[in-house]
Amino acid sequence: MTITWRVSNLIYRHCLNKSMSTMSNPLAAVCQMTSIGDKEKNYQVVKSLVEEAKNRKACISFFPEACDYLADNKADIVAKSEPLNGPTVSKYKSLAIDNDMWLSLGGLHEKNSTTPEKVFNTHILINNKGEIVSEYRKIHLFDMDNKDTGVRLMESDYVTPGREITAPASSPIGKIGLSICYDMRFAELSLTLKKNGAEVLTFPSAFTYQTGAAHWETLLKARAIETQCYVVAAAQTGTHNKKRVSWGHAMIVDPWGAIVAQCGEKIGIAVAEIDINYLNKIRTNMPCDNHRRNDLYPMMKT
């Protein structure tokens, strides 16, 4: 009991010291928006939020799933999709250059040249030079066909699942592991990204209102605590059309599981420091990786 108390007290004092720190660290902006079917109007929202993030000294801005557009039918979802060298991504690249800002954009509706009746749900990371430095195509698709409730939401009707986990990418705030929305429910993916060097996990999302109210905060805190990573979750919010309402509450969670930045339910941004020294101290003080029994539960292969 005494040893347990001393360890807990040491960790508590460490976290208290962190909260009192005045050390300067890079700032990340987590962004929240209400996408509609109009790509140009959505782009103008993205542009205004990037400019706000720039004014608040952030070096990277994270945007939610479907930040390019959110249509209410399969035909428009597919018809409006573009390749990654298309005009919409080109505008995002210019926006990154103009604001000297890294951008996390996920997931975009990427045109699928081999299966034209579907798209890829693709998360891209653009650096401040306008270059795509990482791409990830969503591997876990949200499919629900519940005969009892009458709810049918089948992402696989119009999305082709990705086939690989993307290695974490170096950035001004640390090594970023890319995921998308529903992926957060699968701890194996987050742990695999952490094992491969991730320091920041990001889950751009368009969570439904009901599931968001029940699980959003709990899942994000769990992913942060179990991986000892920062978690950045940009979000869609509000009413998009007659069929879709999103939960919002975009947030940044630190490796201890504390929410360090959060939006409400309106369009806007929240900003927080990303302190890799703090992350490393947490991993040292609570060395979970040293105790993981991979001999009994081997990690997924990447």
273 is catalytic: no
For every residue of 136-163, DSSP letters joined together read: EE--S--EEEETTTTEEEEGGGTBPPP-
Q: Residue 160 — left, alpha, or beta (φ > 0 → left; ψ -120 to 50 → alpha)?
A: beta
175 is catalytic: no
Q: Strand pairing partners for 144? A: 153
Helix (H) or strand (E) holding 31: strand 27-33
Position of tokens 């701890």? 187
The active-site residue, picked from 39, 93, 111, 138, is 138
65 is catalytic: yes
Q: How far apart are CA 262 and CA 268, in angstroms?
A: 10
The active-site residue, picked from 31, 39, 59, 65, is 65
The active-site residue, picked from 181, 194, 263, 281, is 181
Q: How far apart are CA 60 and CA 13, in angstroms?
A: 30
**Dihedral angle computed from the Cα positions of residues 270, 35, 134 and 234, in that order, rounded to the nearest 10 degrees:** 30
Catalytic residues: 65, 138, 181
